[in-house]
Structure 1
Amino acid sequence: MPLHVTIDSDIDRLDTGAWQQLVRATGAPVFYSPVFLRAFDAFPLHSVERSAHILVRDGTGAAHAVLPVYLQQGVDPMGALAANRPEVLDRPILLSHVWHCYETVVPALSADAAHLALGAMRDLAEEWGAALHGVANVGADSDEAELLGSTGLTGTYLDQSWSMDISGLDGFESYLMALEGKPRRELRRAVRRAEEAGVEIRVLAVEDADLDGFVSLARGTAGSKHDNADYYLPGVFQGFLASLGSCARVTELRIEGRLVGALVSLVDGTRYHLWTIGADYGACEGFSPTYILFGQALKEAFDEGKPTVTAGRRNGWFKTRYGLRPTDLQIFLP
């Protein structure tokens, strides 16, 4: 059956039913769900000049490929453009996906459909006057990497993402027993000391969480560790999180009512994403809030029956010790 391409710049005109059905059929991560895309459209987490949603369909209207694309200028939080194409730093470029997505794929039922979506992206870049187009945060050994290479794009190293298969474990205690002795003891010690400090742990829906408090903590953590506090734009990030609804969870740590740590997790059909964290380490005497948030999130992942836990980029030392494994990420450019 012949395939054809539609492009919607207005997300309110997008056939979200067909889009979501394709996302589910391909097992694409939560970053491709209409809920995430609508949240980003309403509350863009970084500057976007224009956006479009590419949908490849057959004659019945069924989706065969989808691809969100964003025209950006001067946006380079990972330093990818500075390292690879410094001449385009101040020029518009068309990229997929947004920088807050660390698992970029090309959701498609076939290679032909994927090629149509990527061809539409290339044509749109020319139409919009983009200096180049590309795809960022792609697993180096993924099918997408091979696909993108076949279109004439070249991948270069960007960062690493981290994930763990927990499908073979019976639960959190089984996970603990599979760890090496020292990491297991340190995690249990942190939990014990947090209990002694009177830490209250709450797992909340976004509408019940202290989103202002989270953003304040996250900006402090990002600023001190990565000099990148504006990865969490005040006001915008809260609005974005509030728009995610049931796709998101917020784990809060409080001592005598004071928020000292928080983790935002995202959930899709097969993954529990430990997406972003903020903590006041100075307020947590004798223990690290990261250990407590990580352990609690794993318990939630087991309880919800998700076979895969992902944990974003960076902080590889901690993640390696606790069983997560790295995937090299690349950015594909002409």
Structure 2
Amino acid sequence: MTIEIITFEKFEDIPTDEYVQLISNVDTPAFYDPRFLKAAEHFPLLPPLRIIYFMAYLNGQPSAFMPCYLQTAQQIDPFGLLANTASISFSEQGTGLFSHVMHCYDTKIIATNDKKEHTGKLLNAQHKIACEWEAEYFGFLNTCDTSLITAAQASGMQTRFMLDRFYLDIVKKNNFELLVEELPADGRREMKRQLRRFSESNAKIIIEAPPLTTLPELVTLCQRTTARHGTPHYFPEKPLFDFVTCCGDMVRTFTVRQDDQLIAGFICFLEEATLHMWCAGMTYDDVKFSPFTILVAEAYQYAFAHKITRVEMGRLNTKIKTRLGFSPLPLFSIIGNPKEEFKL
């Protein structure tokens, strides 16, 4: 068995037919869709210093893929999670080579077969580039890929819990009404109360596929929301608009309008039978119901209507998400120091 690793610094330089062949033969998260990868390269939300894509070929056929981004500390760790969970600190000009971008919460190595062998080859390739580019750290963020975690630990890399991502397997539920009845008691009461308040209001929900007429307003609301939580740079308005537009038909928007004013919305991605509620903007001014809860309810109903089997709800805000039926899935960081011994 011969595995060859070829690197590219532009996604467009990867032969399209080879990449499509690869992802059509393996479970591939939305964050590895060509449209998402192109958006992350051309309209980055946390602009990297350099990008490199690793493609593996087994006996001449595309067999694995891994994107990596050379970034500053602020780009790698905008929420300060690594400093708290992995005790790493960058020098003033320090950089790291990591996969995937922070706006991805399902990092993995995409491989068709013999994942252990491919993972070892790709880790070696990543380590080599990290040394060449003088990165202080290299590795992976937001991963629950057990085979990747195992291989990284065997190589001497550090693995640490980062935070949870949240999901609900709709396929295990019969219908929306039963889903609500099966929520935790406080969530069930909250959902029913907010649905009642919403029905008594003059607000309405709008779901859009491209062209997204509400997107200019929605990205503004998303930026204001993240700024209100102390991370104004995480969803910059113009790049977010261009990023989402670049993602094309994989995008859906769920918005709430009251008195013709946008008061809440989610930017979502469709990944076959999964709906990703990826980015949110909310205002609670002069609103008598919870727009967050109402949009979650709408997402559940949308999932049942469109035969979606899983709803993903991103990271953070544990209390409200578990109350509304979502379950936590632990995500880990994998971190190596290029100057230390690498065992693979």
For 2:78 and 2:24, locate their aligned partners in 1 and report how far apart those are by CA, in whole Å.
Answer: 29
**Structure-2 separation of matches of 1:186 and 1:89:** 46
1:33-73 deviations in Å (ceiling 9; x for gaps): 11100011110010200001111112343x21110000001
Question: How many angstroms apart in 1 are the aligned matches of 2:237 and 2:159?
Answer: 33
Alignment of 1:20-35 (within 5 A): 20-35=20-35
Q: Which amino acid aligns with 1:318?
A: I
Q: State the identity as a percent.
A: 28
Alpha carbons of 1:151 and 1:34: their partners in 2 closer, same or farther (altered >3 Å)? farther
1:287 deviation in Å? Answer: 0.7
Check conservation: 2:83, 2:89, Cα contact below 8 A: yes
Deviation of 1:152 after TM superposition, in Å, equals 2.1
RMSD value, Cα: 1.8
- The 10-residue stretch of structure 1 (202-211 or 274-283) with the greater mean CA deviation from structure 2: 202-211
Q: Relative to structure 1, is the Cα distance of residues 19 and 315 closer, same or farther in structure 2, using a 3 angstrom cutoff?
A: same
Shift of 1:22: 2.7
Distance in 2 (CA, whole Å) between partners of 1:89 and 1:212 is 36
Aligned to 1:249: 252
1:259 Cα deviation after fit: 0.6
Q: Which amino acid aligns with 1:235?
A: K
| Structure 2 residue 126 is the aligned partner of structure 1 residue 125 | no
Name the counterpart of 1:323: 325
TM-score by length of 2: 0.90
Deviation, structure 1 residue 5: 1.0
Cα gap change, 1:41 to 1:87, in 2 (>3 Å):
closer
Matches within 5 A, 1:76-225: 76-83=77-84, 84-88=87-91, 90-108=93-111, 109-110=113-114, 111-139=116-144, 142-224=146-228
Q: Distance in 2 between matches of 1:125 and 1:239?
A: 29
Equivalent residue of 2:125, what SS? Answer: helix
| Matched position secondary structure for 2:53 | strand
Q: Paired residue for 1:287?
A: 289
Unaligned regions of 5+ residues in structure 2, if any? Answer: 337-344
Tell me the alpha carbon deviations over residues 66-103 of structure 1, each in whole angstroms, 9 at most, x when there is no partner: 10000001322131443422134631210000000111
Aligned length: 330
Name the amino acid aligned to 1:47.
Answer: P
CA deviation vs aligned residue, 1:197-249 (integer Å, no higher than 9, x gap): 2111111024223222112211222222x301221112100000111111111
- Give 3-state SS (helix, strand or coil) of 1:208's partner: coil
Give 4+ residue runs of structure 1 displaced > 6 Å after superposition: none
User: TM-score of the superposition, structure 1-length normalised?
Assistant: 0.93
Cα distance change, pair 85–320 in 1 and its aligned pair in 2 (3 A): same
Instruction: Name which of 308, 311, 315 aligns with 2:310.
Output: 308
Structure 2 counterpart of 1:67, one-letter code: M
Residues of 2 paired with 1:138 and 1:31: CA distance? 12
